[in-house]
């Protein structure tokens, strides 16, 4: 469902992502881990077509995001870490706007949109301007709008910021449930405890290079000093911490 072939991004002399090769099948919950500045967001931006790769390609739902962007974008939904929305629209208007840019018919928008707003508990504020929403409510609205057009792939960038524990639990369970129904999830996060709960496979990226890919058990088994996922992650990315703490 998601394939990257030698995906590379250079900013001047800085190598942000270096020859990334991934194969994520349909229905997999894939978690992408790495310290700050490792190349996670750059990878996500290349997967979503917001950045052009220096080399290599990304194929989503069978479509090259650079060569066939419109069809590739139909297949994906994206939830950013900071949900910048149109503040002067209401939540309901935003849902209709997103549905419109995906070309959904009006009757379907009303039905699916209301269901999603109910599900993500934003129905009661649906007619309020988004500028009056809290960060968590904005995040829930971006979740709800992401699922409007029934994407085959959802790309999520650190989605937990601003969500309360109840909503974190709900989002986690909802995404896991949808992967069982065939949705593919590519999630970048720092919250290792959640990764341990939901991930089918994990990829660890550091300094733009993919260090490990596999299930959590596989990754732990491959280490000389097996420990928790947190221990392994800290060990693999130690040079970054040493750079930060001289």
Partner 1 sequence: MARHTIASVRNESKLKVGFVSISGFLLWLGGYYLFYRGFVWLNDFQADTLGAGEMFTLGQILMARLLSLFALALFFMLIFSNVLIAFSTLYKAHEVRYLIQAPMSFGTLFLARFIECISFSSWASAFIGTPLILAYGVVHGAPVAYLVASALYYVPFVTIPAAIGAIIAMILVRVFPQLRMWASVTLAIVSILAIGWYAQQRITAERLGEDNVVIALFEATNQTQSPYLPSYWATAGVLSAGTGNYGDAAFYWFLLMANAGFATVVAIFASQLLYYPGYSYLVGQDRTRIRNMMRGPFAWATRALRFLRNPQRVITIKDMKLFWRDPAQWSQFVIFFGLMTLYIAFIRPGEIQRSSDFWRTWIICMNIGACSLILATLTTRFVFPLISLEGRRFWILGLAPLTFRQLIWQKFWLSVITTSFFTVGLVILSCIRLGVEPEVFALSLFSIVATNFGLSGLAVGLGAIYPNFQEDNPARIVSGLGGTLNFLLSVAYLTIIVGAQAMLLQSRVLNAYANDAQFQLAFAATIAFMLALSLLAWLAPLWLGLRNLNRMEF
Q: What is the contact surface with partner 1 in residues (CB under 8 A)? A: 45, 48-52, 69-71, 73-74, 76, 78, 80, 84-86, 88-90, 92-93, 96-103, 127-129, 131-132
3-state secondary structure 46-86: HHHCCCCCCEEEEEECCEECCCCHHHHHHHEEEECCCCCCC
Nearer to partner 1, 76 or 192 (CB): 76
Least distance in angstroms from the C-beta of 73 to partner 1: 5
Q: How far is the CB of 97 from partner 1 (least distance, A)?
A: 5
- Find the distance separating the first CA and the last CA of the chain, reported in whole Å: 42
Cβ distance 184 to 75 under 8 Å?
no
Say how many C-beta atoms besides its own lie within 10 A of residue 66's C-beta. 14
Instruction: Indicate the residue among 139 and 237 with the shorter CB distance to partner 1.
Output: 139
Contact 184, 28 (CB under 8 A): yes
Query: Between 123 and 240, whose beta carbon lies closer to partner 1?
Result: 123
Cβ atoms of residues 66 and 4 within 8 Å: no
Structure tokens at 71: 């069809």
**Cβ proximity to partner 1, 62 vs 227, nearer residue:** 62
**Cβ atoms of 89 and 130 closer than 8 Å:** yes
User: Minimum Å distance from CB 129 to partner 1?
Assistant: 5
Shortest separation between residue 2's beta carbon and partner 1, angstroms: 15
Q: Give the residue with the Cβ less far from partner 1, 28 or 68.
A: 68
Strands 14-24 and 209-214: unpaired
Nearer to partner 1, 9 or 201 (CB): 9
Between CA 59 and CA 50 the distance in angstroms is 14
Among 65, 59, 15, CA closest to 39: 15
């Amino acid at each position: 469902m998601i394939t990257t072939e030698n995906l590379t991004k250079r900013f001047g002399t800085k190598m942000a992502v270096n020859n990334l090769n991934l194969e994520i099948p349909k229905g997999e919950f894939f978690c992408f881990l790495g310290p700050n500045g490792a190349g996670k967001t750059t990878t996500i931006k290349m997967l979503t077509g917001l950045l052009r790769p220096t080399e290599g390609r990304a194929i989503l739902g069978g479509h090259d995001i650079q060569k066939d962007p419109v069809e590739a974008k139909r297949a994906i939904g994206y939830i950013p870490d900071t949900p910048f929305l149109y503040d002067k629209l209401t939540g309901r208007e935003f849902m209709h706007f997103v549905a419109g840019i995906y070309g959904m018919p009006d009757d379907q928008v009303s039905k699916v949109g209301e269901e999603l707003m109910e599900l993500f508990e934003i129905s009661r504020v649906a007619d309020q301007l988004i500028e009056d929403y809290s960060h968590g409510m904005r995040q829930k609205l971006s979740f709800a709008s992401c699922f409007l057009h029934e994407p085959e792939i959802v790309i999520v960038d650190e989605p937990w910021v601003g969500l309360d524990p109840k909503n974190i639990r709900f989002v986690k369970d909802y995404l896991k449930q949808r992967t069982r129904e065939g949705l593919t999830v590519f999630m970048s996060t720092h919250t290792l405890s959640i990764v341990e709960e939901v991930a089918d496979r994990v990829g660890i990226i550091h300094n733009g290079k993919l260090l490990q890919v596999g299930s959590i058990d596989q990754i732990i088994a491959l280490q000389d000093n097996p420990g928790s996922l947190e221990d392994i992650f800290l060990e693999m990315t130690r040079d970054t911490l040493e750079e930060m703490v001289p």
